[in-house]
Structures are given as structure tokens and as C-alpha cells.
Structure 1
Amino acid sequence: MLSAFLKLSTKSKVLILIFVMSLVMVTFFGNKDAGGITYYDNYYEAGSLLDPNEYTDYGYAALYSGEAGELNRQLGALRNQNLIYVISFGIGAIASLWLLFHENDIKALLLEVRSLSTERILNHDEAIKNNEIDDDITEELIS
């Protein structure tokens, strides 16, 4: 398998690197803490794009003030600072993946992986038929 990867063209290797780095950056900026704000002498955390913190009003404040809506808008603005990075790197990941699937050597690599897995399945089934492998043990390993 490694030898097949080494046979790839430089363009394909670069596209794979761009795809992997884009996924890492989407994960980083999506989970990056956006900080927080002080609102009426209380500190509120904004969370991240993928795990935002939102606040609600309870009791008297819920009936009359509606302050949680304004607080959540301000916290959303903090989280949105990372949004452009997530979108940019997400587009980069999708574009590099699309370009990868149009490369002939990647198609050949995927066909090789598929034929290897099919060959392993056929060898396994043949070994079960010849009683070389106990089928009960195989079923336990699969489940």
C-alpha cells in the first residue's frame, strides 16, 4: 500500500497534503474558543463555532428584559470571527478532494485497494469452506 502511495504523482501528493491540512484547519478554527464578554458585571463565554454557548433569561428577566437575545447576538459576533477561516479551509478541502478524484493515479490506487480487499474476502471465504478457519470464531471477531 505504501509503495502505491509513493508511486503517486507530485500533484496528487500535494493535493492530499492540502486536503489533510484543510481538514486540520477546519477542525482547529471550528473548535477555537472565541473568548467572552462582560455583560452587566457578569462574564459570559462565547464558546466556539462547533460548540457555541447560548444563554437564556429566567424568571423576572424572561418576562420583561429580553437581555439574553442581545447577549447571544454579541457572543455570536465573537464566534463569527472564526467563520471566514472555517469556510475558506472547508472550500479548500472540498476543492482538493474534487481535484483528487479526477487524477488517474488516484483512481488506480483506489482500484488497487478495492481489489486487495476483495481478494482478502475471497481468501477468507475459501478458508472457511476448507475448514481452515473456525466460522464461529470469525463471527465473534466481526461482532
Structure 2
Amino acid sequence: MTDQTKQYAVQKSDTEWKAELSPAEFHVLRQAGTERPFVGEYTDTKTVGVYRCRACDAELFRSETKFDSHCGWPSFFAPLAEDRVEYIEDHDLGMKRVEVRCANCGSHLGHVFEGEGYGTPTDLRYCINSISLTLTPADPA
């Protein structure tokens, strides 16, 4: 799934990834699979904190950018910083989409969609698989 010519900060073989990830995590993160809608751990979560890549623990999104898009997956209007994710043109399923990957390890996270109807500051919806993420709650003040 990942670009074999690109050098990521975190580089592992499929054997190493399979030893660290569950079969479902491996399918989504390393084989660009998609979890079913409305079943993910973070779809409806309102907890304040930072969402990290489940494969390499890189910080990707902040809860302040999460919104309810009613699409069945956690949605964000921006990554924590632009250098945290990378974008790959995706023509699978007969449609043009933009895949979102972790820039640190190349793991598949989901897709980003553009549209004024989202009502977000960026007009973007990062539709991310819950299984691609781990939420680190903010320390209570």
C-alpha cells in the first residue's frame, strides 16, 4: 500500500507491522482498507485531546478540529499541521478521491473531501477511520 520508494521516518516490513497491529488494524492502516461506517471507537467521541496514528503514535489531529459530519467516521476539518499528513490521488472504486496517509509512517488514515456544505473553517472533511487513530485525552485542568 505505501510508496516503497519513499523513505518514512518509521520503516517496517509487513511482518513487523503484522506483529504489532491487529488483523483489522493492518488491513486499514497498511492495506488501505476501510472500516464499516458508524462502528468506529471515535465516531461520536467528544473527548478533548490529540488523535495519534495508531501505527506509529505520530500526532495527527486535535479534538478542536473534529466535527459531526454524520458520515459514519470521525471527521476533522484540518490536521494538527500540514506536515503531519500526506495526500495521494486515489482512483479506486471508479471515483477521484484524495487519500490521507500518516506522513511519519505512510499508514492509510482515510480520505479528505472538499465542499462548502461542510460548514467548517476550511471547507474540508478529513474522513478518518477510527481504527487508524488513538486518542490521548488532554490533562484535566
Q: TM-score range by the shorter chain?
A: under 0.3
The two structures have a TM-score, normalised by structure 2, of 0.23
* Structure with greater helix share of residues: 1
Q: Which structure is larger by alpha-carbon Rg, 1 or 2?
A: 1
The two structures have a TM-score, normalised by structure 1, of 0.23
* Structure with greater strand share of residues: 2
